[in-house]
Structures are given as C-alpha cells and as structure tokens.
Amino acid sequence: MNMANSQPGSMMTNTLGKAASQQMSREVTVSAQDVKVYYGDTQAIKGINLDIYRNEVIAFIGPSGCGKSTFLRVLNRMNDTIDGCRVEGKVTLDGEDIYDKSLDVVLLRARVGMVFQKPNPFPKSIFENIAYGPRLHGLASSKTDLEGIVESSLKRAGLWNEVKDRLDQPGTGLSGGQQQRLCIARTIAVSPEMILMDEPCSALDPIATAKVEELISELSREYTIAIVTHSMQQAARVSHRTAYFHLGDLIEVNATDKVFTQPEHELTEAYITGRFG
C-alpha cells in the first residue's frame, strides 16, 4: 500500500488538493524532532517527528485524548502556560530552536498564531481587537498605518464588509462565525508565519463553517496552517496533508486525498471510516 500519489493506480486524486500541493513549496517551516510531552508523570505525546511545509494546510485528526491539542500547543509553546507540562525533543521554526532559552516567547506566539475552538475576542471594540497585537509588537509607525493594518487584516479574514461601519462596537457583539473570523483577523494582523487552529469551527453553524474553511484555503497562500478537527469532512476539504494521531503517537501522515481513499495504516482506516469502539 506504499504508493505515492503520482503512480498509476492511485485513483481519485483530488484535483483541487493536487493543484494546491503543486503550488506548495517543500520548504520546511516547522520541524518537530522526537517530541515528547508529559503532564506530570503521564506522557501525552510519545516521541513524534513531523516536518510541516510552508504554505501547506495540515490537519491533525484522531480520537479524543490522543494528543492533537497538546502537539499543536508544542508548536508555539502554549504548553508553557500549563502547570506540570513538560516538553522534550526539538522544535525548530525556520531552523531556529523555539525552545531555546534566549527566545522571546511573546514574539514566537505572534509568529505562530493560534485560533481556538471557542471564539475569544477581547472585551473591546472590533478595531481594538485587531490593533492590539500590531501596537504591542510595534508594527505600526502611525495611526494611519495602524488603520491600514486593521483594514487589511479584516479584509483578508473576509470580515471587512460586514464590520467596516461599526469598528468601534464591541467584538463580542458579533455572531459566533464573525467572532471567529475576527480572531483570525487578529492573528494575521501581526504577520505570522504560521497559524494554529484548534477545532476552529466546532462552535459554528455550517454556513459560518464554510466561510472559515474558505478563508483557510485563501490564507494558505500566505501562511502555513495546522488545524485540529474532529470533522473528517473538514479535514478532507481544507487540508493538503492529514496526520492521524493515536494515543500520543503519530500513526500516519500523508496527502489528504490518499488518507481518505487509501489510508496506509489500519488504525487510520478504522478511525476515518467510523469503525472505532
């Protein structure tokens, strides 16, 4: 079953995914080497190796508790904020060790932004939600500059037309789907290289979900995206590659069209076809 997608005999190659992956360069953005994560004495991640390429959308799937969120948080050191959580191994971003003592974690989290399951806008105006990051990181030299960043971020998040007349109103007053796109706009306002998304659509209705998914494929032109999702269909729709996690192990990572038509590992097949427990 070890056939690469280009070989004869692999049917049903998703043409969209293929076009996208052809555009994708093979430059490594993030490299995880033998990453292990412990919560106190319990090991949640058991020595994972994974390279994530520039401008790819990689989906992390697997049963609840298999370590998807934990691994995602490794990539921008969000686990540092969890008591008793310990990370071993090496993680590089553009070749630079992100667990190096001299590294500025605040800056790292701007370079590797994160969007959560539940939209979490600050209790501030729509404008301030976006302006906060660029101001913090000194990305804008003037008020006009800042306004420009706010506008372009909202545009790229596909939210501009819906909010341009009420930028001074609270971000929390938007619908769930709009709030999630606001959070995405906030993430891209600081010009990240990579965006981590942990079940970004699980609180959204199908239309809001479709908008976020559309956004993901547009954003992948500029950013590298890792997304955790419980929706197999979502993983199949938005990602170029899919990684299947199981009990803290990375079982299989392959082109998404391959994973969903000819998974290599029987655990992957059992999971994506709903043959579990």
- 69 contacts Mg ion (rule: CB under 5 A): yes
Q: How many residues bind Mg ion (CB under 5 A)?
A: 1
What 3 state SS string does 175-239 have? CHHHHHHHHHHHHHCCCCCEEEEECCCCCCCHHHHHHHHHHHHHHCCCCEEEEECCCHHHHHHHC
Long-range Cβ contact pairs of 129-136 (< 8 A, separation 24 or more): 129/171, 129/182, 129/185, 129/186, 130/154, 130/182, 130/185, 130/186, 130/189, 131/189, 132/186, 133/186, 133/189, 133/190, 134/189, 134/190, 136/106
- 9 contacts another protein (rule: CB under 8 A): yes
Residues of span 233-252 touching another protein by CB under 8 A = 233, 236
Residue 261 is inside which H or E element, if any? helix 256-261
Q: How far is the CB of 42 from ligand ATP (least distance, A)?
A: 6
Q: How many residues bind another protein (CB under 8 A)?
A: 25
- 224 contacts Mg ion (rule: CB under 5 A): no
- 277 contacts another protein (rule: CB under 8 A): yes
Output the six-digit token pair for 25: 């360069």
* Contacted entry of Mg ion, another protein, ligand ATP, none for residue 65, CB cut-off 5 to 8 Å set by kind: ligand ATP
Q: How far is the CB of 69 from Mg ion (least distance, A)?
A: 3
- Contact pattern from residue 174 through residue 213 relative to another protein, giving x for each residue in contact according to CB under 8 A and a dash for the rest: ----------------------------------------
Q: Could you give phi then psi for residue 251, rounded to 5 degrees?
A: -85, -45
Q: Which residues bind ligand ATP (CB under 6 A)?
A: 39, 44, 62, 64-70, 82
Which sign, positive or negative, has the C-alpha torsion 120, 63, 98, 253? Answer: negative
Piece of 12-20, 69-77, 246-254, 267-275 that binds Mg ion (CB under 5 A): 69-77
Residue 87 or 149 having the CB closest to Mg ion:
87
Output the six-digit token pair for 154: 């909202």
Which parts of this chain interact with another protein (CB under 8 A)?
1, 3, 7-12, 232-233, 236, 260-263, 266, 268-270, 272-277
Which parts of this chain interact with Mg ion (CB under 5 A)?
69
